[in-house]
A and B are shown apart, each in its own frame.
Chain A
Amino acid sequence: MVKTYNRIELIKGSIAQVKAEGVALGELAMIKTRDGRTTLGEVISFNHDKVNLQVYAGTRGLSTGDQVRFLNKSMEVSYGESMLGRVFNGSGVPIDNGPELMEESVEIGGPSFNPVKRIIPKRFVKTNIPMIDMFNSLVISQKIPIFSIPGEPYNELLARIASQTDADIVILGGMGLKFDDYQFFLNYFSKTGAMEKTTMFVHLASDPTVECILVPDMALAAAEKFAIKDKNVLVLLTDMTAFSDSLKEISISMEMVPSNRGYPGSLYSDLASRYEKAVDIDGSGSITIIAVTTMPGDDVTHPVPDNTGYITEGQFYLHNGVIDPFGSLSRLKQQVMGKVTREDHGDLANSMIRLYADAKKARDRESMGFRLSGWDQKLLTFADMFEDKMMSLDVNMDIDDQLNLGWEILAASFSPNEVGLKQQYVNQYGKWKTDNNG
Chain B
Amino acid sequence: MQHAETTGIIVAAQGNLMTVQFDGIVRQNEVVFVASQGRKLKGEVIEISGNEAKVQVFEPTRGVKLGDKVEFDKDLLTVELGPGLLTEVFDGLQNPLEKIAAQAGYFLPIGLYLPPIDRENKWDFTPSAKAGDIVERAYFLGSVPEGKIDHKIMVPFTFVGKGTVVSVAEKGSYTVDNVIATIKDEEGKVHDVTMIQHWPAKFPLRFGQRKLPTEQLVTACRIIDGPFAVAKGGTFATPGPFGAGKTVLQHQISKYADIEVVIVVACGERAGEVVEILKEFPELDDPKGGKLMDRTSIICNTSSMPVAARESSVYVGVTLAEYYRQMGVDTLMLADSTSRWAQALREMSGRLEEIPGEEAFPAYLASRIAELYERAGVLELADGSQGSLTIGGAVSPAGGNFEEPVTLNTLSVVGCFLGLSRARSDARRFPAIDPLISWSKYSDRFYENGDDIIKWRIDQIKIAQKFITESDEIGKKMSVVGEEGISMIDMVTYLKGEFYDACFLQQNAFDTVDSATMMDRQNEQLTLVMNILNKKFSFADRDIARSYFLDLTDKFIQWHYTPHKTDLYNEKKSEIKNLIEGA
Which residues of B are found within 8 Å of A256, using beta-carbon distances? 350
A25 touches B62 (CB 8 A): yes
A272 partner, pick from B100, B241, B303, beta carbons under 8 A: B303
Chain A residues 1-35 with CB under 8 Å of chain B are 21-27
A113 partner, pick from B89, B106, B396, beta carbons under 8 A: B106
B108 to chain A, nearest CB (A): 5
Chain B residues 102-140 with CB under 8 Å of chain A are 104-110
B110 touches A111 (CB 8 A): yes
A40-48, A157-165, A375-383, A408-416: which lies at the interface:
A40-48
Which residues of A are found within 8 Å of B101, using beta-carbon distances? 114, 116-117
Q: Known interface pairs A44-B14, A259-B360. Does A309 touch B243 (Cβ–Cβ under 8 Å)?
A: yes
| Residue from B63, B65, B271, B272 having most chain A Cβ neighbours under 10 A | B272
A356 to chain B, nearest CB (A): 15
Closest A residue to B91 by beta carbon equals A115
Interface size class of B (residues with CB under 8 A): 35 or more
Within 8 Å of chain A (Cβ to Cβ): is B550? no
Chain B residues 51-86 with CB under 8 Å of chain A are 60-67
A260 to B360, CA, bound (A): 8
A25 touches B271 (CB 8 A): no
B12 touches A46 (CB 8 A): yes
A288 to B373, CA, bound (A): 38
Within 8 Å of chain B (Cβ to Cβ): is A93? no
B87 to chain A, nearest CB (A): 12
B150-158, B275-283, B284-292, B384-392: which lies at the interface:
B275-283
B303 touches A273 (CB 8 A): yes
A260 touches B398 (CB 8 A): yes
A233 to chain B, nearest CB (A): 15
How many inter-chain contacts with C-beta < 8 Å in the A-B complex? 162
B307 partner, pick from A74, A269, A276, beta carbons under 8 A: A269
Within 8 Å of chain B (Cβ to Cβ): is A60? no
Hey, what's the 0/1 contact readout for A251-273 against B, CB within 8 Å counting as 1? Answer: 00000111110001110110011
A121 to B104, CA, bound (A): 22
Within 8 Å of chain B (Cβ to Cβ): is A310? yes
Hey, what's the 0/1 contact readout for A116-140 against B, CB within 8 Å counting as 1? Answer: 1111110000000000000000000
Q: Known interface pairs A44-B14, A115-B275. Does A310 touch B242 (Cβ–Cβ under 8 Å)?
A: yes
A120 partner, pick from B12, B104, B276, beta carbons under 8 A: B276
Which residues of B are found within 8 Å of A46, using beta-carbon distances? 12-14, 66
Within 8 Å of chain B (Cβ to Cβ): is A193? no
Within 8 Å of chain A (Cβ to Cβ): is B97? yes
B275 touches A118 (CB 8 A): yes
B116 to chain A, nearest CB (A): 14
Hey, what's the 0/1 contact readout for A30-72 against B, CB within 8 Å counting as 1? Answer: 0000000000000011111100000000000000000000000
Interface size class of A (residues with CB under 8 A): 35 or more
Closest A residue to B278 by beta carbon equals A116
Within 8 Å of chain A (Cβ to Cβ): is B400? yes
B2 to chain A, nearest CB (A): 32
A48 touches B62 (CB 8 A): no
| Residue from A265, A313, A329 having most chain B Cβ neighbours under 10 A | A265
Q: Known interface pairs A47-B11, A49-B66, A276-B271. Does A25 touch B398 (Cβ–Cβ under 8 Å)?
A: no
A259 touches B303 (CB 8 A): no
A118 to B523, CA, bound (A): 41
Closest B residue to A268 by beta carbon equals B343
Within 8 Å of chain A (Cβ to Cβ): is B214? no
A47 to B268, CA, bound (A): 30
B85 to chain A, nearest CB (A): 16
A45 touches B275 (CB 8 A): no
Chain B residues 1-58 with CB under 8 Å of chain A are 11-15, 19, 36-37
A111 to B108, CA, bound (A): 6
Within 8 Å of chain B (Cβ to Cβ): is A228? yes
A115 touches B303 (CB 8 A): no
Closest A residue to B307 by beta carbon equals A269
Closest B residue to A115 by beta carbon equals B271
| Residue from A25, A45, A272, A277 having most chain B Cβ neighbours under 10 A | A25
Which residues of A are found within 8 Å of B98, using beta-carbon distances? 116
Within 8 Å of chain B (Cβ to Cβ): is A208? no
Closest B residue to A21 by beta carbon equals B66
Closest B residue to A141 by beta carbon equals B272
Q: Known interface pairs A114-B100, A276-B271, A329-B243. Does A269 touch B15 (Cβ–Cβ under 8 Å)?
A: no
Within 8 Å of chain B (Cβ to Cβ): is A311? yes
Residues of A within 8 A of B (CB): 21-27, 44-49, 74, 109-121, 141, 228, 256-260, 264-266, 268-269, 272-273, 276-277, 281, 301-303, 306-307, 309-311, 313, 329
Enumerate 14 A-B pairs (CB-CB under 8 Å) in ascending A order: A25-B61, A25-B65, A47-B11, A112-B108, A114-B100, A114-B101, A114-B105, A115-B97, A116-B89, A116-B97, A266-B350, A301-B399, A306-B400, A311-B303
Residues of B within 8 A of A (CB): 11-15, 19, 36-37, 60-67, 89, 97-98, 100-101, 104-110, 241-243, 268-272, 274-276, 278-279, 300, 302-305, 307, 340, 343, 346-347, 350, 353, 356, 359-361, 396, 398-401
Supply 14 further A-B pairs (C-beta < 8 A) apart from A116-B97, A118-B272. A22-B66, A46-B66, A74-B63, A115-B97, A116-B101, A266-B307, A266-B347, A268-B343, A269-B303, A269-B347, A276-B302, A276-B303, A303-B398, A306-B399
